[in-house]
Amino acid sequence: MNTDLKTIRLPKEIELSRQHNPKDQLDTQDLQHFDTKTLFYDFFIDQSGEHLLGIGPPAMNLSQYIRTAKLFVNGEKQKFAFQDLPEYKLSFLKTAAPKGHGVSIELIFSDFHETFYIPQNNASQKRRILAAISKNNAAEWVATWADFHRHNYGLDDVIVYDNGSDNIQELEIALDGKAKIINWNFPYGPPGKRFNKFAQPGALNHCLRKFCRRGTLFNFDIDELLIANPPTLEEEIKRNKTVYIDSHNVPKTKNLTSPYTHYDFKLRDVERRKKARKFVCSEATVDIISQHNTWKHSKIPFTKKLRRNKPKKLESDHAYFLHFLGITTNWQPSLGKLNIVPKDNLTEDESHIKRKPPEQ
């Protein structure tokens, strides 16, 4: 699996930059977290070998700038299709790829150009992959999360999109043989600003399109553990293609001394959250995904409209995930995840502990 990225950014010396989505009001501090310069996170050949794809944040005001660029593939000018999807926080460039080998690419914009070589995509198809974005999470948390899902759900790969962690060397050691790391060092987006956070949907769709052809994608964050009966879950995936899964919060009831992991929590909220569901999806039946939803193109002729796969109709009959509030770097302190909660209104749940992989 090739985890290297072929990224294109606007050079710093060029004044041109992405404007934010006006559906959010951003102040000066917010703009420090906004991605102004990334045009494409990565260029790659898809697993079919037929298409060269570029995936990036929404172009917004840069859309025409990208559309008027010139693309050369192996030295020959080539047409491409560009799709800007601000409502899904994504953009895509697509063109035909010569089959059977890598390609040399040159993209010429009005005031700069990029040249690079893209190798053939040799990642296997029909795999079961768990993916998540992560920054500065404790290495033992990420390793626990990867081990748990590998052991219980027969995963072929776990991919961590690292968003610029300070502990990257420790993380690489802890995940050796357990997960692959992609250095996804792009601005995450302003906290609390729904329409201008691009890095996470970019990472999930990158995984879906580059590594998961004809496979199954599991979408759970580092602070989340899926609790499901594997055969029943497989039946639901086969039947519904996208399976949405609700959660129970697992709050802190006491102070814990590091190192601690998900297994040090045993009490959860009685009621399910009924929002912010996660999912497992079949790649062949979805076109766009976000942190909480999946979409596919409408079957209506002559339209490219995307239709959301509605959670209420596709929610699992039995599965849930545990959302561990104490597994956090507290990067959004206003959410109060590290607040101590009384035990009175909680119920015991050791389902994750019972599913703990044997010590190696």
Residue 117 has a pLDDT of: 97
| pLDDT of 360 over the 60 cut | no
In this structure, are 112 and 140 located in the same domain?
A: no
Are residues 159 and 306 located together in one domain of the fold? yes
**Residue 79 maps to which CATH number?**
2.60.40
For 113-139, the pLDDT digits (tens) are: 999 999 999 999 999 999 999 999 999
- Of 118, 137, 153, the one marking the end of a domain is 118
324, part of any domain: yes
* The pLDDT of residue 300: 67
Residue 304 pLDDT > 80, yes or no? no
- Confidence bin at 299 (pLDDT 50/70/90): confident
Q: Do 133 and 109 belong to one domain?
A: no
Write down the pLDDT at residue 275: 87
User: What total of structural domains would you count in the chain?
Assistant: 2
**Does 3 reside within a domain?**
no
**191 pLDDT more than 60:** yes
Mean pLDDT (the chain) is 95
196 CB burial (10 A radius; 0-12, 13-18, 19+): buried
**Does 318 fall in a domain?**
yes
- Percentage of the chain modeled with pLDDT above 70: 99
Reported as a single tens digit per residue, the pLDDT across 332-343 is: 898 899 999 999
What would the pLDDT profile of 312-325 be if each residue is shown by its tens digit?
899 999 999 999 99
CATH number of the domain where residue 168 is located? 3.90.550
Query: What tens digit of pLDDT does each residue of 251-298 get?
Result: 999 999 989 999 999 999 999 999 889 999 999 999 999 999 999 987
Q: Which residues constitute the domain of residue 73?
A: 8-118
Q: Is residue 87 part of a domain?
A: yes
In a shared domain, residues 161 and 71: no
